[in-house]
Amino acid sequence: MILAKCQAKVVSSPLMQRKLLKGFLLQRMVASLPMKSNFRVRIEVIRKLECYEPSTIEPVGGHVCRVAAKGCDYYRHSAQDVAHDVFYHYPVIVDPDGSPWVEANRYLLSRLNAIVPAKHRTLESIASDLAHFRQWLLEEEIDFLTISSRPRARPTYRYCAYLHDEIRFGKLKAQTAKRRMSSLQNFYRWIEGDGVKFELPLWLENDEALKFKDARGFQRSKSVKSTDLTRSFRVVKSTNDYSEYIDDGGKLRPLPRDEQMALVAALNAIGNTEMILAFFFALATGARLQTVFTLRRQNFLGEPYQGAVSHRIKVGGGTLVSTKYAKQMVLLVPLFLYRRVQVYLNSERCQRRISSSKHVYPESGEQYLFLTRAGQPYYMADNDPFTFLYRSPPRGNAVTQFIRQQLKPELYRQGHDFEFRFHDLRATFGMNLLEDRLVGHPLDDISAQNQPNFFRLLMYIRQRMGHTNLATTERYLNYQKNYKLAAHLQYGYEDHLESLLKAVEGCCELD
């Protein structure tokens, strides 16, 4: 069975949605396919999904459409129940026999009803969780709408037990299992809201107080719904303040100064201009990969103010440059780096890559700053009008491939063996920024004797790194105090042990 790849016509009423899901499919190659062990539930992605309501009433300026199978005509009206008329990279859950899973796909459609509809990556994540559940249902021959009188025999509890078995056998992480169970519960909640009534409860639910720190660092709490299913997957977070990693949207490892120098030497040896500039940009601004590789030419066309040492670039919501959660922020680009990027823009190498690009934007300045040799972006912004041309838009895979296939081997050739990811440059920027501000002013002295200066330091780092939560910024300060202290003590202890071992070696032979 093949799904329509380029465009699909979608309607918003429940009755028409049921018809639409069957209309997604092209003519079947066979009437039905028998269940086979190698056939699995899969997700097909429609690159461009058009949402509208069919009607026999002709709108002003409307055009007639024809349903090939029925041989009848209709007109397209703007859909009233969705925020946008077009949605890119829409996932569809398909059963092994090629037919769509109606209820799950209607649920995914409902996620487009919000004022700000779910992003395609969010929808694909939900679709992946539900496809996993569907595969389990088919293998166990379970009807997900049939609720047993025995609680542990109900689909939700049986699936929960299955996920726990997967965790126990090391096939699944607890955090992933908890996410899948949460997706399943939201699906069942939608089913109940859509009119399906279950005589018995699918889980036990109660209110819990969730404690957190707000953007200003104050302790807050809010009431959230909790179920016995998701509670069974509680993930205990590590509280190791002496770890070599910082939790900042992932486990990041700030690179020591010697590793930074080794990284620069390896990049210079490889000679990839785009990677050299991109890595330096991340080191100098703390920008994430998605921000660095969605920078545009227009961001480097302006002239800095007279006497300025850095140039301000606005990124995030309202710009063409992507940030996490579309957060608006300003990057301070050192003038020496800004000038080098301007030189690169006028280079033959850059012009050659731009001419190879198949994407022609209304303004030449909207073209990405960094392009591959084939003229493709390393990372495509969500608001890019050409995303629908890709089954999977570029998301930095080429950068990861460069690190794995070229950078790490070069580091190893030069005698360095340390783990590294592009995102670690962000943590490295944060620690460099902190240490530069602490020159001659130990952190303990600032925090203990001069609270205003300590708070200003905290706010400065938070602003430069674009942290929403102040607790994230505090982790950098804790890292600077705790990890380096622990490393210093560990080295001292190891030297002590080595001296003891040498004393033993003097008394007896050790093979």
pLDDT digits (tens, 9 = 90+) for 464-506: 888 777 777 777 777 766 655 545 544 554 554 556 566 655 5
Residues 163-184: tens digit of each pLDDT: 999 999 999 999 999 999 999 9
- How confident is the model at residue 497, as a pLDDT? 59
Contacts of 300 (CB under 8 A, 6+ apart): 338, 341, 342, 345, 369
Mean pLDDT of the chain: 81
**Cα(74)–Cα(53) distance, integer angstroms:** 10
- How confident is the model at residue 246, as a pLDDT? 75
Q: Is the pLDDT of residue 451 over 70?
A: no
- How confident is the model at residue 339, as a pLDDT? 94
- How confident is the model at residue 15, as a pLDDT? 45
More confident residue, 270 or 71: 270
- Tell me which of 43-57, 262-276, 338-352 is least confident: 43-57
Task: Give 253's DSSP letter.
Answer: -
Residues 35-46: tens digit of each pLDDT: 444 479 999 999
Residues 365-392: tens digit of each pLDDT: 999 999 999 999 999 998 898 988 888 8
As given in the structure block, the two tokens for residue 135 are 């595969």
- Tell me which of 37-41, 84-88, 315-319, 482-486 is least confident: 482-486
Q: How confident is the model at residue 54 (pLDDT cuts 50, 70, 90)?
A: confident
- How confident is the model at residue 214, as a pLDDT? 64
**Cα(354)–Cα(370) distance, integer angstroms:** 9
Ordered by start, the domain boundaries in the chain are: 1-120, 142-236, 256-419, 426-505
More confident residue, 343 or 437: 343
Q: Is the pLDDT of residue 71 over 90?
A: no
Q: How many contiguous H segments (helices) and E segments (strands) does the chain have? A: 18, 11
More confident residue, 485 or 87: 87
- How confident is the model at residue 495, as a pLDDT? 59
Residues 322-378: tens digit of each pLDDT: 998 888 999 999 999 999 999 999 999 999 999 999 999 999 999 999 999 999 999
Report how far apart, in Å, the C-alpha atoms of 391 and of each of 48, 104, 120, 425 are.
10, 21, 12, 29
- How confident is the model at residue 197, as a pLDDT? 92
Q: Is the pLDDT of residue 457 over 90?
A: no
More confident residue, 119 or 105: 105
Query: How many whole angstroms from its chain centre is CA 491?
Result: 37
As given in the structure block, the two tokens for residue 493 are 């202890």
**Cα(351)–Cα(344) distance, integer angstroms:** 9
Mean pLDDT confidence for 261-287: 95
Residues 223-241: tens digit of each pLDDT: 777 899 998 987 766 555 5
Dihedral sign for Cα atoms in the order 101, 12, 382, 348: positive
Nearest C-alpha neighbor of 37 from the set 113, 139, 189, 136: 139
Q: Is the pLDDT of residue 17 over 50?
A: no
As given in the structure block, the two tokens for residue 212 are 């957190």
More confident residue, 408 or 7: 408
**Cα(417)–Cα(409) distance, integer angstroms:** 9
More confident residue, 478 or 270: 270
Domain boundaries 256-419, corresponding CATH code = 1.10.443
Task: Give 328's DSSP letter.
Answer: -
Count of C-beta atoms within a 10 Å radius of residue 155: 21
- How confident is the model at residue 504, as a pLDDT? 59
- Tell me which of 25-29, 372-376, 421-425, 489-493 is least confident: 25-29
Q: Are 200 and 146 in contact (CB under 8 A)?
A: no
Q: How confident is the model at residue 198 (pLDDT cuts 50, 70, 90)?
A: very high
Q: Is the pLDDT of residue 190 over 80?
A: yes
More confident residue, 451 or 255: 255
Q: Is the pLDDT of residue 139 over 60?
A: yes
